[in-house]
């Protein structure tokens, strides 16, 4: 993604970030709509986060012992989400990998169900690609993943209840867990259809499988309580396990998985499922994440909504004026623009995009000082530091970029 392969050209090497803006090594300034792929909820170099991190560094950077910040960070996560216990790790990949191991250990089953277009980090069985038919076992999605790892993964089309029912009918007693992004952001933003996550939770429960909701991207971003705050909290269900990352690390390598206490009890040292990490719960990363979450009050989420609405409405308007087929979709405060004329409810729909039009749009925005994700399949991220001037820069760039996409 950083290599600009999807859009062509030379990637910008950034030298510094402040608030809503990044500055590259040539001194060119950009309004940032990538936010380090999601973590920078409060913008770059937030003064309070920075001060807390500097103070933490001065106290030493890693002890390999329990610390107060990691406990407080875990409590902050437990306070906002339905998880009862949390284990801290260092990346979203580690979180989903460990959640799957735990689900397999808890259920004594091997098969994992995932959706095409959902990304859960570079975990071998989760890099599987869809097999040839519905509810068939998958094939490796990249060289380096053994067929045996992919063969234990079932890949289904997103938002497709009958595909889920068919998979559970065929493999039900072998399924350890179903993992899904709470609202996919890795094929662009594709919100679950109403009731879909609740349906997944119920289907898993009925078959003795665990429901793993991956909130690495949506957690503490889509809303104060993550995407679960927009569906499960109101509908009255909770995932068995959840994974978190990005925002909860405040720009440092921190992530987590957690869930039902009886499931977490299977985890070492209490239980037999092994998991550990030299830098897990690192005091500097935990301090950055804790400070970020404590600052992320309802006012922050209201601001993200306001700024996000302004940008996505203006993007839609500019593309309409230029006659460029597009769909703008959102999930809480996350949103993205698809360069296709049809609503996107799964990865097959997302794949109908005109990626050449996106590349032209991307480069015109870049030339006008707006840094978008360099792929048509990514969410756009705003921060509490996106002020009126930053929004104005984006709005001013859109009409010209839309015309470039139309050319
Ligand atoms: N899960 C989701 C939903 C993600 O978006 C990502 C990363 O983009 C991951 C897991 C993997 O996280 P990391 O890149 O920290 O390993």
User: pLDDT for 162-172, tens place per residue?
Assistant: 999 999 999 99
Task: For ligand 1, pick from 94, 96, 217, 245 the residue to mutate: most ligand atoms within 8 Å of CB.
Answer: 245
Active-site residue flag, 119: yes
pLDDT at position 93 over 70:
yes
State the closest ligand 1 atom to the C-alpha of 118, by its place in the atom list counted from 1.
Answer: 3
How far apart (Å, rounded) are the C-alpha atoms in residues 67 and 404?
A: 53
Using 50, 70 and 90 to split pLDDT, how confident is the model at 1?
confident
Task: For ligand 1, pick from 98, 121, 239, 247 the residue to mutate: most ligand atoms within 8 Å of CB.
Answer: 121
Judge contact between 363 and 7, C-beta under 8 A: yes
Q: Which residues pair with 273 in a beta bridge?
A: 267
For residue 121, report the distance from its CA to the centre of ligand 1, in Å.
Answer: 5
Using 50, 70 and 90 to split pLDDT, how confident is the model at 135?
low
Active-site residue flag, 297: no
Enumerate residues 6+ apart whose C-beta is below 8 A from 145: 124, 125, 127, 128
C-beta of 92 in contact with ligand 1 (< 6 A): yes
C-beta of 275 in contact with ligand 1 (< 6 A): no
Give whole-number Cα distances, 405 to 136, 315, 355, 367, 399, in Å: 38, 12, 10, 14, 10
C-beta of 215 in contact with ligand 1 (< 6 A): no
Write down the pTM of the prediction.
0.97
Active-site entry in 32, 246, 346, 377: 246
> In the prediction, which pLDDT does 133 show?
56
Measured in degrees and rounded to the nearest 5, phi and psi for residue 294 equal -65, -30
How far apart (Å, rounded) are the C-alpha atoms in residues 294 and 13?
A: 31
Judge contact between 219 and 226, C-beta under 8 A: yes
- Helix (H, G, I), strand (E, B), or coil: what is residue 224? coil
Phi/psi region, residue 250 (left: phi>0; alpha: psi -120 to 50; beta: rest), is left
How far apart (Å, rounded) are the C-alpha atoms in residues 387 and 319?
A: 23
Q: Tell me what the mean pLDDT of segment 90-104 comes to.
A: 98
C-beta of 286 in contact with ligand 1 (< 6 A): no
Lowest mean pLDDT, pick from 28-32, 97-101, 124-128, 390-394: 124-128
Nearest CA to ligand 1 atom 13: 92
Q: Tell me what the mean pLDDT of segment 303-315 comes to.
A: 98
Judge contact between 404 and 372, C-beta under 8 A: no
Of residues 265, 209, 200, 212, the one with CA closest to residue 239: 212
Task: For ligand 1, pick from 217, 251, 254, 375 the residue to mutate: most ligand atoms within 8 Å of CB.
Answer: 217
How far apart (Å, rounded) are the C-alpha atoms in residues 218 and 296?
A: 14
C-beta of 245 in contact with ligand 1 (< 6 A): yes
C-beta of 214 in contact with ligand 1 (< 6 A): yes
CA angle 34–40–45, rounded 5-degree value: 115
State which H helix or E strand residue 161 sits in.
helix 161-171
For residue 205, report the distance from its CA to the centre of ligand 1, in Å.
Answer: 25
Using 50, 70 and 90 to split pLDDT, how confident is the model at 275?
very high
Of residues 3, 14, 33, the one with CA closest to residue 379: 33
For residue 123, report the distance from its CA to the centre of ligand 1, in Å.
Answer: 10
ipTM for this model? 0.99
> In the prediction, which pLDDT does 138 show?
80
Of residues 308, 348, 356, the one with CA closest to residue 329: 308
State which H helix or E strand residue 167 sits in.
helix 161-171
Nearest CA to ligand 1 atom 1: 120
Lowest mean pLDDT, pick from 1-10, 54-63, 368-377, 378-387: 1-10
Nearest CA to ligand 1 atom 10: 120
State the closest ligand 1 atom to the C-alpha of 92, by its place in the atom list counted from 1.
Answer: 12
Judge contact between 259 and 84, C-beta under 8 A: yes
Enumerate residues 6+ apart whose C-beta is below 8 A from 288: 49, 52, 53, 56, 249, 250, 251, 252, 254
Judge contact between 244 and 64, C-beta under 8 A: no
pLDDT at position 278 over 80:
yes
How far apart (Å, rounded) are the C-alpha atoms in residues 278 and 164?
A: 38
Q: Which domains does the chain have, with CATH numbers?
A: 14-32+297-406 (3.90.1150.10), 48-295 (3.40.640.10)
């Amino acid at each position: 993604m950083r290599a600009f392969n999807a859009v062509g050209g030379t990637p910008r090497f950034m030298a510094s970030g402040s608030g809503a803006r990044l500055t590259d090594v040539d001194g060119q300034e950009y309004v940032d709509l990538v936010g380090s792929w999601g973590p920078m909820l409060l913008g770059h170099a937030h003064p309070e986060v920075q001060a807390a991190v500097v103070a933490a560094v001065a106290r030493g950077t890693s002890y390999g012992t329990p610390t107060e910040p990691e406990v407080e960070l875990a409590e902050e996560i437990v306070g906002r989400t339905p998880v009862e216990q949390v284990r801290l790790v260092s990346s979203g990949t580690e979180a989903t990998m460990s959640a799957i191991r735990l689900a397999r250990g808890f259920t004594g089953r091997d098969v994992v169900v995932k959706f095409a277009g959902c990304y859960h980090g570079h975990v071998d069985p989760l890099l599987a690609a869809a097999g040839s038919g519905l509810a068939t076992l998958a094939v490796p999605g990249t060289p380096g993943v053994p067929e045996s790892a992919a063969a234990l993964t079932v890949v289904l089309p997103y938002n497709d209840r009958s595909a889920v029912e068919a998979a559970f009918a065929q493999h039900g007693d072998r399924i350890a867990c179903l993992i899904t992004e709470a609202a996919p952001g890795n094929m662009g933003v594709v919100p679950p259809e109403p009731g879909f996550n609740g349906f997944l939770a119920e289907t898993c429960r009925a078959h003795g499988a665990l429901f793993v909701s991956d909130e690495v991207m949506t957690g503490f971003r889509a809303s104060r309580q993550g995407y679960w705050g927009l569906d499960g909290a109101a509908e009255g269900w909770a995932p068995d396990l959840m994974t978190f990352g990005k925002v909860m690390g405040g720009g440092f390598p921190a992530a987590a998985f957690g869930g039902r206490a009886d499931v977490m009890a299977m985890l070492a040292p209490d239980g037999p499922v092994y998991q550990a990490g030299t830098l897990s719960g690192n005091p500097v990363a935990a301090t950055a994440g804790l400070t970020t979450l404590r600052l992320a009050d309802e006012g922050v989420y209201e601001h993200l909504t306001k700024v996000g609405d302004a940008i996505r409405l203006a993007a839609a308007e500019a593309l309409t004026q230029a006659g460029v087929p597009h769909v703008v979709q959102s999930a809480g405060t996350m949103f993205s623009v698809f360069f296709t004329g049809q609503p996107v409810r799964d990865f097959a729909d997302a794949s109908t995009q005109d990626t050449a039009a996106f590349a032209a749009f991307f480069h015109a925005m870049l030339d006008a000082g707006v840094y978008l994700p360099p792929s048509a399949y990514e969410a756009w991220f705003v921060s509490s530091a996106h002020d009126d001037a930053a929004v104005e820069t984006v709005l001013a760039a859109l009409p010209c970029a839309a015309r470039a996409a139309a050319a």
